[in-house]
A and B are shown apart, each in its own frame.
Chain A
Amino acid sequence: MNNFSYTRANDVGNAVAEIAADNHAKFIAGGTNIIDLMKENVERPTRLVDISRLPLNEITESDGGGLRLGALCTNADTAYHAQVEKRYPLLSSAILAGASPQLRNMATDGGNLLQRTRCYYFYDTATPCNKREPGTGCSAINGFNRIHAILGTSEACIATHPSDMCVALAALEAVVHVTGKNGERAIPFADFHRLPGDTPHLDNNLHADEIITALDLPAQGFAQNYTYLKLRDRASYAFALVSVAVALDMDGDTIKEARLALGGVAHKPWRDTEAEAMLSGKSATKENFQKAAEAIIRDAKGFGHNTFKIELAKRAVVRALKQAAEGTPQPTEIKKVL
């Protein structure tokens, strides 16, 4: 880890002023990803601004009947919050499918959105990586790419976004509230993270002087028919090869509205509104689930080691839709896929 100076921010305005004044400064909150990246010399800030004591750690009712998650709520406090468990069990389930209890006790909700990819080459400073050092090339495209993306990739980068929580937030259509030098703005979740294109060093659309202050969950929580199905090499405490968040609004056996988001397959949580629309007004049958699954992976492209993910994603979508429609979500502690 390189040497750096340390400042503790007293309020949001102070935090924004500190970060805006020094382009080698970074925020630290839970620290679970940035400290790891600093140990690997991937991140080398000369200054850390500690935002962990800012008063952004409450979960409150929001206007419009939803919930507002303060950006500094820990993942654990969020997943186990009574209102989140009751009204947004998809979010609880996704959070609890990720990391370990120790990490969830440290990691914050805002920080979860900002965690970097776990691409081996991004972490290995001895290899070229366009995300770490723009213009140096992508080592993964012709390298060991078993964990890499199959959707929305570019010639510059095939990294995935590693979050489970964000897959649920995408399906729930959360809104990200941020504050910067020029004031506050609200970013719909679908517009928060970016596809790599030719700027893979940019993970998201947050400006350099902005801080995430809250995440708003809309009133509709899909608490009756949902699931978060995560498939991985190890049964616990591993990143997703493929994960699926499903949220359905059902009327008897008919799907009124479907939300479908995939993790582990793209540079951002992957939503496909066309595939979702194919399910609305349809009955919950395997045939209809298969059509939606075919649609969501229609543009998928494998790179050799990760080509298996295309079929895996398709089958995971069908299984997850079945779980959600039947009201039998995958429990985190049960390792057999229901």
Chain B
Amino acid sequence: MSLNHSNHSANSSAENSQGSHHDSTALPAKTSITFKLNNRETTLEVAPWTTLLDALREQLNLTGTKKGCDHGQCGACTVIVDGVRINSCLTLAIMRDEAEITTIEGIEALSEGDGLHALQTAFIECDAFQCGYCTPGQICSAVGLMNEGRARTKDEIRELMSGNICRCGAYPNIVAAIEQAMNASGNNVNQSEGSDGR
């Protein structure tokens, strides 16, 4: 689908509804959007106010992505859109027409080999969770962190994972898991600690 065609379709659906948008009983029409979701072309009808998180969970049954706070404060809804990690609760699905989206369900396919992604394996081996509710967001966020290539020390891993809250407090093992995956990928974590470990 070309960008122009998409613009046209989004505009025309909004225009259809605009004529009656002061009439509180008439809701704006749903719009058809298409994105590449976990490597598969996906088309769905969304209302303008549907967040990407709700579209994934309620319409596409991809419930691995969690709704924690729904306000961008906990990171449980983290997904990867066009190569970068974002909070899916704070973006509208309609704005992500034509995007490339990876959720926890598609992380495995990002790895070169067969089976689990290196971060998934590392989370298991390092026991990087207790209840597991934040884990999909933690792993998607860590994939983003590794793509960004900015973390070189444990302090930097901690700072750059600060958008993901773990109420069980599994942070030390989460940092260890990310460190293990980074070392395995050849981006060795500098072992010298900063002046303050936290």
Contact = CB atoms under 8 A, between A and B. Distances in A.
B26 to A, nearest CB: 10
A336 B31 contact: no
The size class of the interface chain A forms with chain B is 35 or more
A48 B18 CA distance: 11
Nearest to A34: B90
B70 interface: yes
B66 interface: no
Contacts of A236: 158-159, 162
A50 B96 CA distance: 11
Most buried by B among A6, A36, A47, A53: A6
A106 B159 contact: no
B38 interface: no
Interface in B36-94: 47-49, 51, 70-72, 75, 78, 84-87, 89-92, 94
Interface stretch (A97-105, A202-210, A315-323): A97-105
A10 B155 contact: no
A126 interface: no
Interface stretch (A160-168, A180-188, A248-256, A327-335): A327-335
A91 interface: no
B114 interface: no
Contacts of A6: 10, 13-14, 28, 31, 48, 92, 94
Interface of A: 1-8, 10, 28, 31-32, 35-36, 38-39, 46-48, 50, 52-53, 76, 80, 99-103, 105-106, 235-237, 331-336
5 tightest Cβ-Cβ pairs between the two chains A and B = A100-B163, A236-B162, A6-B48, A333-B159, A5-B28
19 contacts: A5-B18, A5-B21, A5-B28, A6-B10, A6-B48, A6-B92, A28-B95, A31-B95, A38-B49, A47-B14, A48-B48, A48-B92, A80-B148, A102-B144, A103-B72, A106-B87, A333-B155, A334-B155, A334-B195
Interface of B: 3, 7, 10-11, 13-15, 17-18, 21-22, 27-28, 31, 47-49, 51, 70-72, 75, 78, 84-87, 89-92, 94-95, 141, 144-145, 148, 150, 153, 155-156, 158-160, 162-164, 194-196, 198
